[in-house]
A and B are shown apart, each in its own frame.
Chain A
Amino acid sequence: MKKYSILIFSILFFCNSVFANVYNYPAKLSAIVKQLPKLESINCKFKQEKHLQNISKPIISSGNFKFVENKGVYFYTTYPIKSTVDYTNKNYKQINDIIKALASKKYSKLEKEFEFFYTKGSDNWTLGLKPKAKSDVHNYLSSITIEGTDYIQKIYIVQTNGNSTKLWFTK
């Protein structure tokens, strides 16, 4: 039992470390830009796991995801409710701008708001963004960690109020 617990604890520690590690590697945008792929339009599946502060049960949803180059992001949630979130509209403009900037490699738009961190594995890469002290999002966002290969596979958003969201994308 004790060995089993140690194993689980190590796995969990390792998982957190994967995300935590990237913040040990600050990077200049000019260096990151050359290494990240240009993201193209894509249709795939997504899964979301949200952990809200003071709520024991995680909030889980899934559905279909569409990214259209130069336009934006669409989430078609199918479980547990049916809803569509269109990030091209005014309400989600800030998030949409971040996603479009990442996809089109116009990262300098993000320079104003975020500090960058980056690590690269053999097939994958991890990009970390932390809001600068003077940025608009600093009050509610702690970090955004993005992992990918030739497309974005994972996004991990941590808020200042303790809420966090993990998103997985699968082709």
Chain B
Amino acid sequence: MVHKIKLLILGVIIFCLGLISINLKGNVELNLTKTLLPSTVKNSKDIITLTNKSASVVKVVFESDDEESVQTLKTDFLDRINKDFYEVKTPDISNLLDTYLAHPNNFLSPKTRELLKSKQYDEIYANSLKELYNPAGIQLTTMDKDPYFLLNDFLNFNKKITDSTDLINDKHYDSISLYIKTQEGLTPNITNKEISKLIKIKKQLSKKESKIYLAGTPIHSYNTSRKSVLSINFICVFSTLLIVFLTHFYFKRTKLLIPISLSIIMGMLTGYIATRLVFENFQIITMVFSATLIGIGIDYSYHYFFSQNPDKTFVKNLTFSLITTLVPFILLFFTKIDLLEQISVFMCFGLLGIYFTVFVFYPCFEIPKPKKFIKPNSAKIGLALIIIFIFSLIGYTRFHFNDTLTALYAPSKTLQKSEALYNKVSGSNFQMTKIVAVEGLSINDVIEKEEKITDLLYKNGYDYISVSKFIPSKTRQRENFGLVKDLYVNNLDKYSDILSQEQITTLKQSSFVEADFQPEKLPHISDFMLDKNKSMIFVFENKPLTKLSNNCEIIDIKSDIEKAVKSYRTLLLKMFLPAIAILLLILIVLYRSQKGAKILIPPMLALVGSVGITSLIFGEINIFSIIAMYMVLGFTMDYSIFRANPLKNCEDSIFASALTTSFSFLLLSLCGFKLLSSIALILFWGIVISYLCGYYVFKKDV
């Protein structure tokens, strides 16, 4: 009766926790860049804005045997897409061109400006004659408005740095960009739904001779989440089957899956609720790490089931296991890194939730006597360990840290090909290395500040693209006009054999009229804006950018993210020794003997071995591998503790725990998503090595 009431109470607690978790307010943070770049990092807000911009663009390439078919394919595609979700921005330069043509003397290339400032009128005259007599040269204005063809010169300077192409190996191409219209549209559920429709349209329209390629961040995200979901479903099914099999094999009773499930649910709910209450924004990557609680739930459950009548020794073992597992996670809380603090809170409260469930509610379940099965073979275990450590040593020859985001994500070859094709066809095939962010009080103020910076960039030989390149400020237009007027006054008479005297006089006496572009209304202006009054200058040179001005910030996305990741990695590595020292101290205090130190040996060997093997397989270690190392330290203490003070059926209990946990991580390490597989590989090898090493370290005790 008491047991039934207890189980009822457990059910009510889980139900209440479930309700609380559903109704919790706050944001779930899905942006990996935002996760890795805390607000304390300089330019983090701008980098996040840039990644959000990238996340809202789908790139499309159309391919066929002839131009007509390409255009038909493009039209069919555009007819079928959801225009409430996507918009196609085509650069319409006609308004800009009309403004340029109406005020041809307001626009100068930097080279011509310098020539005019230094009054090198003869050189400008000679250049204009070359343009005048240029066969098949297209003069955009008439000579009575722009006798020196300065507008041609300005527009030539502003041409794209690389050119698009629509013919590659006799195949014809066209490309467009689809912009996701609203912020709500960037929610993963909504985006993925629309992307899957887009992919369906692509498949319907693609034939043998006509193809459509999709690229861009939303496509990458869709592919990754689809692959991850498939992998995780696959892992869940097979891991569950293994647990069902093992439970039935040992206990002939699959009803024991109920308490296992309840402890896992309890752990996940307590961890999740605690994290949501402490932190305003919940990082989705926390959930990835929290999945390891499933392993803990199974481990604690098996330890309880195999011990049959949990006595003081069992309570001591499980409590010590809890304490030693908590220590590394508690330490993560003091890193002042948001993601690590969240993992810490989730895991600590999750572990407590599982522990509480096992102690308070497991006595309510009838546990049958387990089979004795495992008979470890010393020679085979020894041989396995030797082989593992040989490979691990080889792995250390490839060991290096990779702090780039690419360490966590590698696109498929198909997607890489689509990206490269889009870049070639659209003309975006350049290496943008840095962004200079310029802030002002208004858009014209921003443009004026940009001009001071771009003058310096031009002087130092940098290629760049910016708003001010196309839309000079009012001040700059007035200066330009003044320089051109000086040219007319001092040099225009040389054109007296072509221009009439009246035309010459009119030009010399012309007055400045400002060209008002209304930049905030121009399409594509948003491509250059971080904020309402903050613009971006895209720089294309790989030389270091020296300090340009006090009114700008230099953003090197790749470098800024790498620096942030490297600083986390360094901090985590520095904390390892203190973590081990604290664990050693706690173990010596708890066990009051050398046994405490002995318990640490298998986890330490597990760390060394798992890093070596991971280096061998991946060739590198990343930030998430290092976080996984803390988990290896925490989780594998469990096996050592239960071997140090062995209970009934100890070896089977540890074998079943290690097998189920390592099997799940093995499957996870095979999934295509590098972030998940890098965590899982460390955990898999850590558990296997700790299990095997523990056998030898505690051979006499078991």
Contacts and interface: CB of A to CB of B under 8 A. Distances in A.
Given A80-B133, A109-B166, A159 B71 contact: no
B93 A93 contact: no
Interface string B143-176: 1100000000000100100010011000010100
B133 A77 contact: yes
A42 to B, nearest CB: 15
Interface string A19-43: 0000000000000000000000000
Contacts of B174: 112
B142 A90 contact: no
Contacts of B141: 161
Contacts of B136: 48, 75, 87, 95, 155, 157, 165, 167
Contacts of B132: 50, 59
A106 B167 CA distance: 10
Chain A, interface residues (CB within 8 Å), range: 35 or more
B655 to A, nearest CB: 68
Contacts of B172: 108-109
A61 B135 contact: yes
A46 B137 CA distance: 14
B143 A83 contact: no
Contact of B97 (A53, A106, A139, A141): A139
Contacts of A57: 497-498
B130 to A, nearest CB: 5
Nearest to A112: B67
Name B's interface SS.
loop
Interface string B124-141: 000001101111111111
Interface in B619-651: none
Contacts of B67: 108-109, 111-112
Contacts of B66: 108, 111
Nearest to A136: B93
Contacts of B93: 136, 139
Contacts of A54: 142-144, 503
A150 to B, nearest CB: 21
B135 A167 contact: yes
Nearest to A101: B167
A140 interface: yes
B135 A85 contact: yes
Nearest to A134: B90
B518 interface: no
Contacts of A167: 135-136
Contact of A81 (B129, B135, B166, B497): B129
Interface string A152-171: 00010101011101010000
B499 A140 contact: no
Contacts of B500: 56
A55 B499 contact: yes
B133 A163 contact: no
A136 B160 CA distance: 13
Interface string B559-580: 0000000000000000000000
A85 B137 contact: yes
B68 interface: yes
Nearest to B139: A163
A68 interface: no
Contact of A52 (B94, B129, B139, B163): B139
Contacts of A141: 138
B141 to A, nearest CB: 7
Contacts of A87: 136
Given A91-B159, A108-B67, A85 B134 contact: yes
B135 A52 contact: no
Given A109-B167, A112-B71, A161 B142 contact: yes
B696 to A, nearest CB: 70
A161 B100 CA distance: 14
Given A57-B497, A109-B167, A139-B97, A159 B135 contact: no
A55 B143 contact: yes
A59 B133 contact: yes
A155 B498 CA distance: 24
A49 B445 CA distance: 46
B142 A162 contact: yes
Nearest to B167: A109
Given A54-B144, A55-B143, A112-B166, A159 B498 contact: no
A167 B66 CA distance: 31
A155 to B, nearest CB: 7
Contact of B133 (A81, A112, A161): A81
Contacts of A157: 136, 138
Contact of A140 (B140, B163, B497): B140
B420 to A, nearest CB: 21
B166 A159 contact: no
Given A91-B156, A91-B159, A93-B163, A83 B133 contact: yes
B140 A161 contact: yes
B68 A111 contact: yes
Contacts of B140: 140, 161
Contacts of A55: 142-144, 498-499
B424 to A, nearest CB: 15
Given A106-B167, A157-B138, 12 more contacts: A52-B139, A54-B143, A55-B498, A65-B135, A83-B133, A108-B172, A109-B167, A112-B71, A140-B97, A159-B138, A165-B136, A167-B135
Nearest 6 CB-CB pairs, A to B?
A111-B67, A53-B142, A61-B133, A54-B144, A48-B135, A83-B130
28 contacts: A46-B135, A48-B133, A48-B135, A50-B132, A52-B139, A55-B498, A55-B499, A57-B498, A59-B132, A59-B133, A75-B134, A77-B135, A81-B133, A83-B134, A85-B130, A85-B135, A91-B156, A108-B68, A109-B67, A112-B71, A139-B94, A157-B138, A159-B139, A161-B140, A161-B141, A162-B142, A165-B135, A165-B137
Interface of A: 46, 48, 50, 52-57, 59, 61, 65, 75, 77, 80-81, 83, 85, 87, 90-91, 93, 95, 106, 108-109, 111-112, 136, 139-141, 155, 157, 159, 161-163, 165, 167
